[in-house]
Amino acid sequence: MISIKEVTTKSELKAFVKFPFKLYKDSKYWVPPIISEELKTFDTKENPVFNDAEARLFLAYKHNEIVGRVAAIINSLEVKHQGIKKMRFGWFDFIDDFEVSKALFNQIETIGKEHGLEFAEGPVGFSNLDKVGVMTEGFEHISSMITWYNYPYYIKHYENANYIVEKKYSESKFPFKNVKPEFFFKAQELIKKRYQLKALNLTKTSEVMPYADKMFDLFNESYASLSSFVAITDIQKEYFKKKFISFINPEYIKFVVDKDDKLIGFAVVMPAFAKALQKMKGKLFPFGFMHILQAKKHSKDVIFYLIGIHPDYQNKGVHAVIFNEYYNTFREKGIQNCIRTPELEDNYAIHQIWKHFDPEVYKRRVTYRKNL
């Protein structure tokens, strides 16, 4: 007999966050989140996303033992302002038991119907800066700080519940040695002269911060046409600056501005923190933060997290300016591997940007949908 209980106490929230630690304790590919950060994600006083969204968290029990979890999310910016009547769900984990997943799916669908929503889609987070998708290929590769990992059996549970694939994502990687400067060095010089652009090389977080709000504004502009996009609000910008910028080496954030110092392009790259997070086992203290600092300073693998170009400058080669800056930085640091975060398979523009580097797709993931 499966029972579903809504999370209402701090101890239940902690149990919700820690359930995957038990589920994946024998996996060498799963990367644990930082427990304190994950708790803040669901703190309505801490995370400003709750100004425009609500989340109800549920735990599944069998014989008084937690065997599954899910977050049911309604984003009012999406539902009310964009008219997309979607029931989001994420943080969806369960043992290989159809009764467990069915009970959790039923909970999601019940909430969606109660709110008059038309379909459910997941796994997704609150916005486009959250983790997305259930893995369908690449289970033998280590996960990352910004993706969910799951066992292969998850797929058959979605199919058993009559969910169909909604969006497809791919993750790729390439060795830094594949980066040939002749593909972009001359081009970027011409582009900078033609459009009167310049690249900013910043070495301190304090230098990055004045451009951070502009970066999120540009993110909203450059990603607006993608499916499932939900804009970042002004209050969320402050939250994301605190949450992300401190983790990222300032020299890994690149900005391109025009003659009036207006931001027209940006990119954010992160050191690969996966192995550090595995050593930390979810805890920053007493020694976990040291693993983060070591990875931040010495990791030879990097993850391309975000890249955005102003719509007026798309297809004009601005990415060549950004790649040139990264080439110089990565060469100095001895970077060996470049990894890309999940990208929509129908985002052809972004795939064209990387084609000269011979990227290898090594993971795929999807979101699933069910009409309500």
Q: Give the Cα separation of 311 and 141 in Å (integer).
A: 35
pLDDT score recorded for residue 227: 63
Neighbours of 340 (CB within 10 A): 22
pLDDT score recorded for residue 348: 75
Q: Give the Cα separation of 220 and 197 in Å (integer).
A: 21
In this structure, what token pair is assigned to residue 74? Answer: 């309604």
Phi, psi dihedral angles at 358 (to 5 degrees): 50, 55
Ordered per-residue pLDDT tens for the chain, 372 residues: 899 999 999 999 999 999 999 999 999 999 999 999 999 999 999 999 999 999 999 999 999 999 999 999 999 989 988 889 999 999 999 999 999 999 999 999 999 999 999 999 999 999 877 999 999 999 999 999 899 999 999 999 999 999 999 999 999 999 999 998 888 888 899 999 999 999 998 999 889 988 888 998 998 888 877 666 777 888 888 888 877 787 789 999 999 999 999 999 999 999 999 999 999 999 988 888 899 989 999 999 999 988 889 999 988 999 999 999 999 999 999 999 999 999 988 877 777 778 888 999 999 999 999 999
Q: Give the Cα separation of 205 and 198 in Å (integer).
A: 20
Of 276, 255, 264, nearest in space to 326 by CA: 255
In this structure, what token pair is assigned to residue 88? Answer: 């989001």
Domains of the chain: 2-170 (3.40.630.30), 175-363 (3.40.630.30)
pLDDT score recorded for residue 228: 65
Full-model pTM: 0.92
CB contact set of 146 (below 8 Å; sequence gap of 6+): 131, 270, 303, 305, 341
Of 149, 198, 168, nearest in space to 26 by CA: 149
Amino acid at 110: T
Strand ranges, E, within the chain: 2-6, 53-62, 65-75, 86-94, 119-122, 134-137, 164-175, 198-200, 253-257, 263-271, 301-309, 337-340, 343-344, 360-371
Residues paired with 338 in a beta bridge = 174, 302
